[in-house]
Amino acid sequence: MTRVALIHDWLVAHRGGEQVLLELARAFPSAPIYTLVYDPTHVHAELTSRDIRVSLIQSLPGAPKHFRRYLPLFPKAIEAFDLSKFDVVLSTSHCVAKGAVTQGTHIAYIHTPMRYLWDQLPTYIPPWADNPLTVKAVTLAVTPLRRWDVMSATRPTELVANSNYVAERIARVWQRPSRVVHPPVTTDFFRQAPDRKREGYLVVSALVPYKRVDVAVAAAAKEGLPLTVIGTGPELARLERIARGKVRFLPNASAKALREAYASAKALLFCGVEDFGIVPVEAQASGCPVIALAKGGALETVVDGVTGVLFDSPEPRSLLAAIERREAIGFDRQTLENHAETFSARRFHLELQAVLRTHNVTYERPV
């Protein structure tokens, strides 16, 4: 029997990357899961019953809650895992998991090369520290990590990118080709959204700078558009100041509440550049069109004029023009649902199995 191990950067929440891991865990139920840190209180129930093996980071002060402070230790921690007895390693990586040292076949599913080392480094510098000297110091500090990131990208047998956008970044940063398999979205669940009268607009996002939720909030405040923002994060206080009491903010919603919100909105506003972006697919599966910035993964998930509206610039004026376009288009729910289905979990498994077959690897359990 083929011995398989799964590796994930960290297990402290359940988001898009963890959904990929969950689907892999379902396909390989006997495979142990290696991860830097683990918090069972915030992980999908199916994963808490698995054999989870953590790194030395787990035992350091403040972990697992404040594990990010140990970023410089991540490469050594991931390399310390003994994977010598496994024939196949499947990693899901947006940080260091792809750098694990293996002796067998290693298929690395890449959500992105580390954003904070490459494309989006400036957005991770706090506004109060944004000056040329700080930027230079931070750049020098991450240089060793950049070298390791490029070097360790040569280790996997094959790289699988979660979007064409990420595949282009992999080629540019790591100088390696990759196959594209879009991540799984629970479209069946969101297609069960009830028919509702659609009123107002919706943002569903972590409230962090690169998501550009400020664009939607500023546009809504300026024009008095009804907008609900679902999500939490360090940007909340700043966004509330921009909103001036004209935008409704809610914490993270349950899956059913989120489905209801999609079903009740005129459109989802998606203003940041994402590697893929599961939220727009969830919205479309719920019959909700998407108004998205025409960059990144949105170009692969939103069809302009058919399942949503694309706009060119991350600024309120451009977004408001797109909202005006949306008001003039009658979107067909069935078309939206059918398009979302092309990103379903079933499609993910069919495409991933095709990749694994080229390496003589088969699923333990059909999905």
Asked whether the beta carbons of 7 and 329 are under 8 A apart, the reply is: no
Collapsing DSSP states into helix, strand and coil, what is residue 163? coil
Q: Record the pTM.
A: 0.90
pLDDT of residue 319: 98
pLDDT of residue 15: 86
Average pLDDT over residues 6-33: 95
pLDDT value at 129 more than 50: no
Distance CA 196, CA 222 (A): 27
Average pLDDT over residues 12-25: 93
pLDDT value at 119 more than 90: no
Q: Which CATH number fits domain 4-184+345-357: 1.10.357, 3.40.50, 1.25.40, 3.20.20?
A: 3.40.50
Distance CA 45, CA 41 (A): 9
* DSSP category for residue 266: S
pLDDT of residue 252: 83
pLDDT tens digits for range 253-270: 899 999 999 999 999 999
Q: Identify the architecture of domain 187-341 in CATH.
A: 3-Layer(aba) Sandwich (3.40)
pLDDT of residue 131: 58
Other beta carbons within 10 angstroms of residue 174's beta carbon come to 20
pLDDT value at 137 more than 80: no
Collapsing DSSP states into helix, strand and coil, what is residue 90? strand
pLDDT value at 1 more than 80: no
pLDDT of residue 128: 46
Query: What is the average pLDDT score of the chain?
Result: 93
Distance CA 125, CA 204 (A): 24
For the chain, what is the largest distance between any 2 Cα atoms, rounded to a whole number of angstroms?
A: 62
Percent of the chain scoring above 90 in pLDDT:
83
Q: Kindly indicate the confidence band of residue 136, based on its pLDDT and cuts at 50, 70 and 90.
A: low
Q: Kindly indicate the confidence band of residue 147, based on its pLDDT and cuts at 50, 70 and 90.
A: very high
pLDDT tens digits for range 167-186: 999 999 999 999 999 999 99
Average pLDDT over residues 72-87: 96
Distance CA 196, CA 182 (A): 29
In terms of Cβ atoms closer than 10 Å to its own Cβ (0-12, 13-18, 19+), residue 84 is: exposed
Q: Which residue spans of the chain are classified as CATH 3.40.50.2000? A: 187-341
In terms of Cβ atoms closer than 10 Å to its own Cβ (0-12, 13-18, 19+), residue 181 is: buried
Cβ neighbors of 138 (< 8 A, separation 6 or more) are 121, 125
pLDDT of residue 133: 61
Q: Kindly indicate the confidence band of residue 198, based on its pLDDT and cuts at 50, 70 and 90.
A: very high
pLDDT tens digits for range 208-224: 888 999 999 999 999 99
pLDDT tens digits for range 289-315: 999 999 999 999 999 999 999 999 999
pLDDT of residue 68: 85
Lowest average pLDDT, out of 68-72, 242-246, 305-309, goes to 68-72
Q: Kindly indicate the confidence band of residue 144, based on its pLDDT and cuts at 50, 70 and 90.
A: confident
Other beta carbons within 10 angstroms of residue 359's beta carbon come to 13
